Amino acid sequence: MSFQERIRQKKGKEKIIMLTAYDFQMARILARTGIDLILVGDSLAMVVQGRSDTKSVTMSDMIYHIKAAARGAENTPIIGDLPRDSCNSVEDGLRNAKLFIKAGAHGVKIEGKKAEVIKALASGGIPVMGHIGMLPQTAESYHVKGKKPEEAEQILQDARALDRLGVFSMVLECIPEDLAKMITETVDVPTIGIGAGKYCDGQVLVTNDMLGFDDDFKPKYVKVYANFNKATKDAVSKFIEEVFEGKFPDDEHTYH
């Protein structure tokens, strides 16, 4: 059974867990927790490259990080985010998706309703994860989508369209919980929420966010499960102290 079939079979039965990784070590850690999917997201622009949004990520950036994560992902499927302007045509989409697969990804994620590209990839045997709601690659600002009736209706229609086009799952980002619930109950494929409430078939977060790496980035939908920012600072402070006091390196950590 393919990984996408396993994901589809979880709908309505078992929650799907997806987290991001951009390097070997984090991918290996996540793989050993038994999560369902690892996303090499274009969010690397913000958490790795220090940019203000995801719009400038290149194919080269994505391929580099997919290769690194693939070395650590063991048996966990990797989904690669096709970056902005990488699939504006069917030809570009096919070429770039194949580059992701060659780099170690098992499937691709595409933001928005790029019907012809999604249809061509899905029919060509490349698993596609959809992504609707708030779309970071094209959004002028990050805020909840779908609060207005007409906007909510459009997102619902987009979800139905993606379902028909053959995606194996879809991310619902920053939409009201009742809209996410309606979509989840309407489409045949699993929904994976980020800022979309508890009724989705699964959840995804940027791992760096849930581990508290950045004290300055605290969107409402992120729950911080550990404070790695503080833990790292504390460890470095202890290292500095022990070096200054001559406690490190001690005999245990010295070759003789």
* Residues classed as catalytic: 173
Cα–Cα dist 9/7, whole Å: 5
Write the CB contacts of 253 (distance below 8 Å, at least 6 apart in sequence): none
The SS3 call for residue 18 is: strand
Q: CA torsion sign, 195 to 213 to 84 to 97? A: negative
Instruction: Report the amino acid identity of residue 157.
Output: Q
The dihedral region occupied by 212, where left means phi > 0, alpha psi between -120 and 50, and beta the remainder, is left
Give the count of beta carbons closer than 10 Å to the beta carbon of residue 115.
13
Give the count of beta carbons closer than 10 Å to the beta carbon of residue 161.
16
Cα–Cα dist 106/120, whole Å: 16
Cβ 8 vs Cβ 37: under 8 Å: no
Comparing CA positions, the residue from 178, 177, 159, 179 lying closest to residue 169 is 159
Q: What are phi and psi for residue 160, nearest 5 degrees?
A: -65, -40
Write the CB contacts of 70 (distance below 8 Å, at least 6 apart in sequence): 27, 78, 103, 104, 105
